[in-house]
Structure 1
Amino acid sequence: MTNDQPAPDGVLRLINGYWATGVLGTAATHSLFTHLEDGADTAAELAVRAEISERGAQTLLDGLVSVGLVEVDEGRYRNTAEASVYLVEGKPTCLSSFARLKLKHMGSLAALPDVARAGGPVTDPATEMADNPHWEDVVPAIMAQSGPAATIATEVLGLAEAGEISILDVGGGSGIYSAVWLEANPAARSTQLDWEPINAIARRLVAERGVADRFTCIDGDFHTTDFGTAKYDIALYSHIAHQEGPEDNIAVFARLRDALKPGGTLVICDYVVDDDRSGPAFPLIFALEMLLKSNQGGTWRRADYHDWLVKAGFEDVSFHSTPPATLVVAR
């Protein structure tokens, strides 16, 4: 290797990238971040509290130091600030359940060469069915991802001072947006449209936030269920557009435009890429998930959303960063 030749470290780290998913998912499975937060700062103490081998605890700690989630000083370990916020159980921002879920999904990547050749799933994406029991794991696991964006949207829309407003959340999943928005505005009411098993989960999760009395659900598929006409002040379409193709998104946006009262607002949250597809990094690589699991989805550009919304009848479109996602606000 010549002096001006780059070292292979970065490429090797990417080739072995599945190790990062493995160490994070396994550490989350054994609640290591929670035990670290509670003061267990050595491999021996973690092994006792997590009921795993000391060798296993030390290896996991080494891996977590490697990926930047744990720090070590004179043999004592502690969570980084990022791990403390996003991986400690019991915190509303905790993503540990999502890390455990992704550990189970690692095997699906082996099909990616065939999927890339075919341009879409090579087997039936059976997970996208209303009666799949995996929703009990998936819906709560991804809830924490949307909490920060929901809070930022509260400020962008001025919801706390909006008074008596009606909200329609299409494909609302866990109901996290409704929960955050109803907490911010005690005069607001929200309706979620989603499949019945998912709505059942949402009702439970929203009840835990103490706002269930102003939250109702419509069981159905948003592709075919009527949204109504001029019924809502705000409509939400969060993390659905990436599953749909351009024409389907335009059609849904037009139906949502009709469902809004005059002057109403459509809020879209999704992984949006720059117009030249140079970034941001997470939305760019998330497109692999859509290639694996959908026949027409992808991570769409800002220009795509603007074009689709104008075609659907909206006039004012703005973008607000909520990393790793983007809020699109249309009126």
Structure 2
Amino acid sequence: MVSGTPQPVSPERILQLMWGHAAPIIIHAGIHNNIFEELASGPLTIDQLHAKTGASFRGLKALLNALVGLGLLAKDTEGHYLLTSESTTFLVRKSPHYYGELFCHICEQVIPNWLGLAEIVRSGKPALHVDQAEDGAAFFERFVEALFPLNYGAANALAESLCLAQLNAPYSVLDIAAGSGVWSICIAMKSPQVRATVIDLPAVLNVTRRMLSRFGLTDRFRLVAGDMHTADFGKDYQVAILGHILHSEGEIRSRELLAKTYQALAPGGTIAIAEFLVNEERTGPPHSLIFAVNMLVHTEQGDTYSFNEIRRWLEEAGFEHVRPLEVPAPSPLILATKPSA
């Protein structure tokens, strides 16, 4: 016989959520105090780390043990702290997959703005207007380079899907609000025939130039400084990319941007869109719903959208064959084609 007595509800998940802010701040503290860099050379005791980093013994004890608790460090029986495979891959600066600057961005730029969320919800007014040039230039210049490793896997998968290795004629790419240039850089690396036009604010293009120089691609890129809504895109591109752009723009400006991109493409050209997609009911996935709150905090009209919402906008702009492309990222890319005739 099943008892009718209700089972007590555990507070464990609520308590975990209560301390959700702690993990990125702890990781940021580890980066700031060079913990991961020092341990990249090999296991060290707390005394050795104290001598190498200059951080206080008390501070190190709490921080190191918290990083062990988070699974980002290990500790052996002799008291040595060691990197894990995750921290070696993502938190050591020399790694090509270094995500450390993202934690600096979250802790130094994002979290301070989120602290006003209760009043932002009440007023509907963001803490910062990163969708406007005055605020956006300084905001994005500080962290777009950190997004390169985060988007590289998806950008490379897009480049592979275009099958460019056998090109024998020029192939033109438009990268809108390009940031680090990761999307067009990955495409350009597939063939010497690729030529790209990248558009972004002047301050952000300083980062783009640095990345192009790093990959030896400067001579195959044309940089256009300006706001994407007013800049001249040019025309007859084979591919146009909107890499995590629509979420900051809101529906009206996103639809205008898609229509403008349609005009810039050659017949038969492809648009590729990266976004944090939500499901139709807006009940998940959690990271995309949380990112919608981030847009509330940082933009006037920004949001996250479902595949079908963006599909409808694309079809209204004239695109056809709207389809997902599975990539190593939280959400698939969205591709669509401009009709050939």
Does the C-alpha gap of structure 1 residues 107 and 156 become closer, same or farther in structure 2, counting only changes over 3 Å?
same
Post-superposition offset of 1:171: 0.1
2:107 is aligned with 1:103: yes
The 1:255–1:162 alpha-carbon spacing in structure 2 relative to 1, beyond 3 Å, is farther
Residues 245 and 297, structure 1, Cα contact 8 Å, conserved in 2: yes
User: CA separation in 2, counterparts of 1:185 and 1:96?
Assistant: 31
- Range with bigger deviation, 101-110 or 285-294: 101-110
Moved more, 69-78 or 304-313: 69-78
Return the alpha-carbon distance in structure 2 between the equivalents of residues 26 and 118 of structure 1: 33
* Residues 153 and 48 of structure 1, relative CA distance in 2, 3 Å threshold: farther
Shift of residue 129 of structure 1? 2.7
Give the unaligned 5+ runs of structure 2.
none
Does 1:82 find its partner at 2:86? yes
TM-score between both structures, scaled by the size of structure 1: 0.91
Alignment of 1:16-31 (within 5 A): 16-31=19-34
Q: In structure 2, how many angstroms separate the alpha carbons of the residues matched to 1:3 and 1:159?
A: 62
Alpha-carbon separation, structure 2, partners of 1:98 and 1:292: 18
Whole-angstrom distance in 1 between the partners of 2:189 and 2:18:
44
Question: 2:157 & 2:171 partners in 1: Cα distance?
Answer: 18
Moved more, 177-186 or 68-77: 68-77
Q: After the TM superposition, which residues 84-233 of structure 1 pair with which residues of structure 2 at under 5 Å, given as runs?
A: 84-105=88-109, 106-121=111-126, 123=127, 125=129, 128-129=132-133, 132-163=137-168, 164-229=170-235, 231-233=236-238
Could you report, residue by residue, the CA deviation over 1:40-74 in whole angstroms, capped at 9, with x for unpaired residues?
33322322332212322221121212223223332
How far apart, in 2, do the equivalents of 1:90 and 1:212 lie? 23
Q: Aligned in 2, Cα 1:111/1:295: closer, same or farther, shift over 3 Å?
A: same
Deviations along 1:105-125, one digit per CA (max 9) or x if unpaired, are: 32222210111122341x552
- The separation in 1 between residues aligned to 2:16 and 2:166, in whole angstroms, is 49
Equivalent residues of 1:265, 1:329 under 8 A apart: yes
1:311 is the counterpart of 2:303: no
- Helix, strand or coil: the match of 1:45? helix
Q: Aligned runs of 1:246-257 on 2, under 5 Å?
A: 246-257=251-262
Distance 1:196 1:318 in 2: 33
Q: Tell me what 2:65 maps to.
A: 62
Q: How far 1:133 sits from its partner (Å)?
A: 4.1
Query: Is 1:43 aligned to 2:46, yes or no?
Result: yes
Amino acid at match of 1:85: T
Per-residue deviation, residues 218-242 of structure 1 (Å, max 9, x unmatched): 111111122233x211000111100
Change (3 A) 1:134 1:311: closer
Alpha-carbon spacing, 1:193–1:237, altered in 2? closer, same or farther (3 Å): same
1:296 lines up with 2:296 in the alignment: no
The amino acid of 2:113's aligned partner reads S
Count of matched residue pairs: 328
> Could you say which structure has the larger radius of gyration?
2
Distance 1:117 1:161 in 2: 56
Q: How many Å apart are 1:201 and its aligned residue? A: 1.8
The corresponding residue for 2:35 is 32
For residues 141 and 323 of structure 1, what CA distance do their matches in structure 2 show?
A: 16
Kindly indicate whether the alpha-carbon contact (under 8 Å) linking 1:28 and 1:87 is maintained by their aligned counterparts in 2.
yes
Distance in 2 between the 1:127 and 1:257 partners?
A: 22
Contact 1:130 1:195 in 2 (8 A): no
CA distance in structure 2 between the aligned counterparts of 1:23 and 1:264, rounded to whole angstroms: 46
Shift of the 241–251 alpha-carbon distance from structure 1 to 2, 3 Å rule, reads same
Distance 1:31 1:247, change over 3 A: same
Deviations 1:147-204 (A, max 9, x none): 1211111122223344531100000011122222212222211110111111122111
**TM-score relative to the length of structure 2:** 0.89
Once superposed, what is the RMSD of the aligned Cα atoms?
2.1
Change (3 A) 1:68 1:160: farther
Q: Secondary structure at the match of 2:74?
A: strand
Alpha-carbon offset, residue 287 of structure 1: 1.1
> Any unmatched runs of 5+ in structure 1?
none
